[in-house]
Homo-oligomer: A and B are copies of this chain.
Amino acid sequence: MALFADLEHEDFELIHKPILEISKFSGETLYNQGEEGQYLYTIRSGVVKLTQYLPDGGQRIVRLLRQGDIVGLETLVSPVYEHFATVLRDAELCQIPRDVVERLNKETPRLHSQLLSRWHVAVQRADEWLTELSTGSSKSRVARLVIGLSDKNDQTCHLFSREDLGAILGVTTETTSRIIAEFKRDGALKDKGKNHFWADLERLETIANQNN
């Protein structure tokens, strides 16, 4: 498990509570905003979204987490979870009691740098999200998102529901749908069924970088 990569044999003896492996299906919830944070999770496979709500009912997906990422890192610093964590694509997770990490963090220095760099990555991603997915025309933003979701090796890409994509980008479901449909008509995306596409990354890159 990546979070514990630097730990050594003796460190693990400090773990007195069980670390469970759990499976969650798409749509299931890991935790809700405001709940007392008991666990953090590392993702072995699948995708988890973190959502925040506004008083006016508006919602925004603020991050996507995937293999190797940690869900609920904030429990180490804050008493409650700060987002809604929902599974977007069937996931295998390790559920780690918060005090296990706290204890390890206190008693061994080997976790410190891991934790710092996890936080760093979270900030980096948040900043990227802001500059890439919340700046520019919705067409550019959709293009950037698709690129970000693409597997660069085989030029392939799994998308999510138009509603979720919209909540990631801060635009409506319909706008997202129209743009993706347009990409399909233009050949920038080729539908392979089940929200699985072949992506013309070069063309998408062009669209991402033009400001109109």
Contact = CB atoms under 8 A, between A and B. Distances in A.
Interface of A: 52-60, 62-63, 74, 76-78, 82-83, 105, 112, 115-117, 119-120, 122-124, 126-127, 129-132, 134-136, 140, 170, 208-211
Contacts of A62: 127, 130-131
Contacts of A129: 130
Given A57-B211, A135-B60, A211-B56, A120 B119 contact: yes
B127 A82 contact: yes
Nearest to A167: B135
A135 B54 contact: yes
Nearest to A56: B209
Given A58-B136, A129-B130, 16 more contacts: A54-B135, A56-B209, A57-B211, A58-B135, A60-B134, A63-B127, A74-B120, A74-B123, A74-B124, A76-B116, A77-B120, A82-B124, A83-B127, A126-B130, A130-B130, A130-B134
Contacts of A105: 112
- The residue in A82, A119, A209, A211 that gathers the most chain B C-beta atoms within 10 A of its C-beta is A119
A132 B120 CA distance: 22
Given A62-B127, A77-B120, A209 B55 contact: yes
Contacts of A55: 208-209
Contacts of A57: 211
A126 to B, nearest CB: 4
Nearest to A136: B58
Given A54-B136, A112-B112, A211-B56, A123 B131 contact: no
Contacts of A211: 56-58
A109 to B, nearest CB: 8
B131 A54 contact: yes
Nearest to A116: B77
